[in-house]
Amino acid sequence: MPSILITSANRGLGLEFARQYAAEGWRIFAACRNPDSASDLEKLAHSRAVTVLPMDVTDLASIRRGAARLNGEPIDVLLNSAGISGKPGQRMGNIDYESWAQVLDVNTMGPIRVTEAFVEHVARSERKLVVTITSGLGSIADNTSGGSIPYRTSKAAVNMAMRSAAIDLAPRGISCVLVNPGWVKTDMGGPNAPLTPSESVAALKRLIATFGLTHSGKFFHYDGREYAW
């Protein structure tokens, strides 16, 4: 039975990934900050092979506890799904630096903390794959509208961090790939987004199934196109 660790598995894309992979018979390690309030994830855990892990991607101690709890377990796919957008309206002249620091902590350092803590679990699996959800807003080449400075910089930074991780982990046969899920109807994406979580995740799952070392260190759109850095 293949296995996947999903961060922020209690809501949005993370929850939808958990649902879809569970429906296909995968073993799910679902990480979230507050399992006691994650009612949708709790329902899924009652009916499927889902292990819920209390884990905050900004809290290294909680991440290490999660890794220790799964000691010896192989993880085929590590999916870094946790992310926040920060306060709205963040453009020159209206920067909230505390919010910016929090966004960087979650979106940039969070995936690296999790990947480092669980690298041995990934290394002992068959797939040996780390997938990080990034954003088209993190593409420097694609930035023609400005604004969203904290969010954009956090995603550009995680792109670079995972590009380096791909090089660092290549000798161990581990692939690190970045994916843009598109504009999705989630709490972050809002109601006007053209994609539902189900549509985005289904497309991303098809893409993830193709990933290997030849894709490591690259950035893909959910439809399979390689995205400009």
Question: For residue 182, what is the domain's CATH number?
Answer: 3.40.50.720
Residues marked as catalytic: 151
CA-based R_g, the chain, Å: 16
> Is 229 inside any structural domain?
no
State the Cα–Cα distance between residues 57 and 60, nearest whole angstrom: 7
Give the C-alpha distances (Å, rounded to integers) separating 125 from 71, 119, 136, 154: 13, 10, 30, 29
Whether 213 maps to a domain, the answer reads yes
From the CB of residue 79, how many other CB atoms can be counted at a distance below 10 Å?
A: 29
- Residue 220, SS3? strand
Quick: pLDDT tens for 190-221: 888 889 999 999 999 999 999 999 999 999 99
Residue 227 located in a structural domain? no
The number of beta carbons lying within 10 Å of the beta carbon of residue 170 is 14
Between residues 43 and 29, the one the model is more confident about:
29
Q: Is 173 within a domain?
A: yes
Residue 95 inside a domain? The answer is yes
Asked if residue 91 has pLDDT above 90, the reply is yes
Is 116 inside any structural domain?
A: yes
* CA atoms of 221 and 223, how far apart (whole Å): 5
Mean pLDDT, rounded, of the chain: 96
Q: Enter the pTM of the model.
A: 0.96
The total of structural domains in the chain comes to 1
pLDDT tens-digit readout, 143-200: 999 999 999 999 999 999 999 999 999 999 999 999 999 989 888 888 888 899 999 9
User: Which structural domain, as residue segments, surrounds residue 208?
Assistant: 3-221
**Residue type (1 letter), 45:** A
- Rounded distance between C-alpha atoms, residue 113 and residue 107, angstroms: 11
User: What is the distance of C-alpha 73 from the center of its chain?
Assistant: 20
Q: Judge contact between 130 and 177, C-beta under 8 A.
A: yes
